[in-house]
């Protein structure tokens, strides 16, 4: 079969990103323009500012991705773009740009769900990985254990009943006075601390997750200490939160592995960069589980993961029309399996 080159565009939040990927797994270029410094002063992403920044750089980022891949628009087989979920104004920049490219170049347009892109980041780092496998999805907006049935079919086995784990990392960072987005800083502090605070498990009796309780517990712990003028070690709070949150995910994942015939595990989403999570998942190898971790560069938002999912949709002939619109509340296109 002829090689297929997909140009993937991602602009759902505060990263303007574009990549060229060959045959779904081979990354020829991956350009990520991060706006974090612009938003940091506000303690979070300001949607209007994000959209404006995407507009300013999208053209440059796309052209750089082509240049680095040593290709021209003629060589590209299709344009894949994130159309949801995310910030509507931010998504619209990528979607409009991709539509204009597809129309002017007369190439197919492929609409990619951001979450599915995150899962595909695993194929970029582990080209030998093939479905079925279980994926622990840990992003800013999602927390779930997903059975990846094939390259475009997903079943959610359990998920969070309230907040996502990434959101929770950011909230913990905020109450500890760390910069935004705080997950990475909590990770660094946790490595120097002791898990002395016994927060309650994040696994619910029905097998789903809940992060709102632990989030409130951390906030209360820090506020109470501040009110009493007591010193609290940020390192210990970070270590305690990280341990309880991640151990809960691992416990639930191991329970799933006990009954599943699938013995391959991958992780995805921004929190997949967490060092404690990666260590714990790697330990599954001792139980004869085949473990795949995405490289750090593919854990956060990037265009390569969108191009990868785009390739698998291309192969299936799953194309979008030029009516495509941004869908800020797009749900994970998955089946949900009820399980205790
Ligand atoms: O997957 P992502 O880009 O967001 C969504 O698509 O929703 O992930 C961003 C999240 C943020 O909450 C960020 O704090 C978190 O990933 N994150 C981390 C680490 N690096 C990024 N959380 C914990 N440890 C890290 N090392
Ligand atoms: Zn993301």
Please indicate, yes or no, whether residues 251 and 305 belong to a single structural domain of this protein.
Answer: no
Q: Is 332 exposed, middle or buried (0-12, 13-18, 19+ CB in 10 A)?
A: buried
Please indicate, yes or no, whether residues 67 and 53 belong to a single structural domain of this protein.
Answer: yes
11 CA from centroid of ligand 2 (Å): 10
270 close to ligand 1 (CB < 6 Angstrom): yes
| Residue whose CA is at the smallest distance from ligand 1 atom 4 | 140
Residue 321 lies in a domain: yes
Please indicate, yes or no, whether residues 173 and 226 belong to a single structural domain of this protein.
Answer: yes
Residue 339 lies in a domain: no
DSSP state of 271: G
Residue 327 backbone class (left: φ over 0; alpha: ψ -120 to 50; beta: rest): beta
Helices 183-190 and 165-175, interaxial angle, to 10°?
A: 70
Residue 96 lies in a domain: yes
Tens-place pLDDT, residues 188-240: 999 999 999 999 999 999 999 999 999 999 999 999 999 999 999 999 999 99
Please indicate, yes or no, whether residues 267 and 199 belong to a single structural domain of this protein.
Answer: yes
Please indicate, yes or no, whether residues 110 and 186 belong to a single structural domain of this protein.
Answer: no
Please indicate, yes or no, whether residues 326 and 257 belong to a single structural domain of this protein.
Answer: no
- Of 66, 79, 127, which is closest to residue 106 (Cα–Cα)? 79
| Residue whose CA is at the smallest distance from ligand 1 atom 23 | 183
Is this prediction's pTM over 0.75? yes
User: Counting atoms of ligand 1 from 1, which one is nearest the CA of 181?
Assistant: 14
b/e 271-309 (16+ beta carbons within 10 angstroms → b) = bbbbebbbebbeebeeeebebbbbeeebbbbbbbbbbbb
b/e 168-202 (16+ beta carbons within 10 angstroms → b) = bbbbbbbbbebebbbbbbbbebbeebebebebebb
268 close to ligand 1 (CB < 6 Angstrom): no
141 close to ligand 1 (CB < 6 Angstrom): yes
Question: What CATH number has the domain bearing residue 74?
Answer: 3.30.420.40
Residue 340 lies in a domain: no
140 close to ligand 1 (CB < 6 Angstrom): yes
Please indicate, yes or no, whether residues 186 and 67 belong to a single structural domain of this protein.
Answer: no
Please indicate, yes or no, whether residues 284 and 137 belong to a single structural domain of this protein.
Answer: yes
Please indicate, yes or no, whether residues 289 and 305 belong to a single structural domain of this protein.
Answer: no
Q: Which domain range does residue 95 map to?
A: 5-122+298-334
Please indicate, yes or no, whether residues 145 and 283 belong to a single structural domain of this protein.
Answer: yes
8 CA from centroid of ligand 2 (Å): 14
86 close to ligand 1 (CB < 6 Angstrom): no
242, 197 in Cβ contact below 8 A?
no
Residue 91 lies in a domain: yes
| Residue whose CA is at the smallest distance from ligand 1 atom 24 | 274
Please indicate, yes or no, whether residues 140 and 115 belong to a single structural domain of this protein.
Answer: no
- 33 contact partners, CB below 8 Å, separation of at least 6: 15, 16, 17, 57, 60, 61
Q: Which two tokens stand for residue 32?
A: 């990520």
Q: Which two tokens stand for residue 47?
A: 């949607």
139 close to ligand 1 (CB < 6 Angstrom): yes
Distance, CA of 8 to CA of 73 (rounded, Å)? 12
User: Counting atoms of ligand 1 from 1, which one is nearest the CA of 301?
Assistant: 3
pLDDT per residue rounded down to tens, the chain (340 residues): 799 999 999 999 999 999 999 999 999 999 999 988 889 888 888 899 999 999 999 999 999 999 999 999 999 999 999 999 999 999 999 999 999 999 999 999 999 999 999 999 999 999 999 999 999 999 999 999 999 999 999 999 999 999 999 999 999 999 999 998 899 999 999 999 999 999 999 999 999 999 999 999 999 999 999 999 999 999 999 999 999 999 999 999 999 999 999 999 999 999 999 999 999 999 999 999 999 999 999 999 999 999 999 999 999 999 999 999 999 999 887 788 765 4
153, 316 in Cβ contact below 8 A?
no
Tens-place pLDDT, residues 69-86: 999 999 999 999 999 999
Q: Which two tokens stand for residue 63?
A: 């052209």
Please indicate, yes or no, whether residues 181 and 330 belong to a single structural domain of this protein.
Answer: no
Number of domains observed in the structure of the chain? 2
């Amino acid at each position: 079969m002829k090689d297929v080159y997909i140009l993937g565009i991602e602009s759902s939040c505060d990263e303007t990103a574009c990549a060229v990927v060959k045959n779904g797994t081979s990354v020829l270029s991956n350009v990520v323009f991060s706006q974090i410094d612009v938003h940091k002063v506000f303690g979070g992403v300001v949607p209007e500012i994000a959209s404006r920044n995407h507009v300013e750089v999208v053209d440059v980022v796309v052209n750089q991705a082509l240049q680095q891949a040593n290709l021209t628009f003629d060589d590209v087989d299709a344009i894949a773009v994130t159309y949801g979920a995310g910030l509507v104004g931010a998504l619209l920049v990528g979607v409009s740009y991709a539509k204009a490219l597809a129309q002017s170049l007369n190439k197919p347009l492929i609409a990619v769900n951001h979450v599915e892109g995150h899962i595909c980041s695993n194929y970029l780092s582990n080209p030998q990985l093939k479905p079925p496998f279980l994926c622990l999805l840990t992003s800013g907006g999602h927390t779930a254990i997903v059975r990846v049935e094939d390259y475009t079919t997903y079943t959610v086995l359990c998920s969070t009943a309230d907040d996502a784990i990434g959101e929770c990392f950011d909230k913990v960072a905020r109450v500890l006075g760390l910069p935004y987005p705080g997950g990475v800083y909590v990770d660094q502090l946790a490595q120097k601390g002791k898990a002395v605070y016994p927060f309650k498990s994040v696994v619910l009796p029905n097998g789903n997750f809940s992060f709102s309780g632990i989030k409130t517990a951390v906030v209360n712990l820090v506020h109470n200490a501040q009110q009493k003028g007591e010193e609290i070690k940020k390192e210990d709070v970070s270590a305690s939160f990280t341990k309880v949150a991640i151990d809960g995910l691992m416990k639930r994942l191991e329970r799933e592995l006990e009954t599943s015939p699938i013995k391959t595990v991958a992780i995805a989403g921004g929190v997949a960069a967490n060092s404690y999570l990666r260590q714990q998942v790697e330990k599954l190898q001792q139980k004869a589980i085949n473990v795949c971790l995405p490289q750090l560069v593919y854990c956060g938002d990037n265009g390569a993961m969108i191009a990868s999912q785009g390739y698998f949709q291309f192969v299936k002939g799953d194309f979008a029309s030029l009516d495509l619109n941004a869908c800020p509340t797009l749900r994970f296109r998955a089946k949900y399996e009820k399980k205790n």
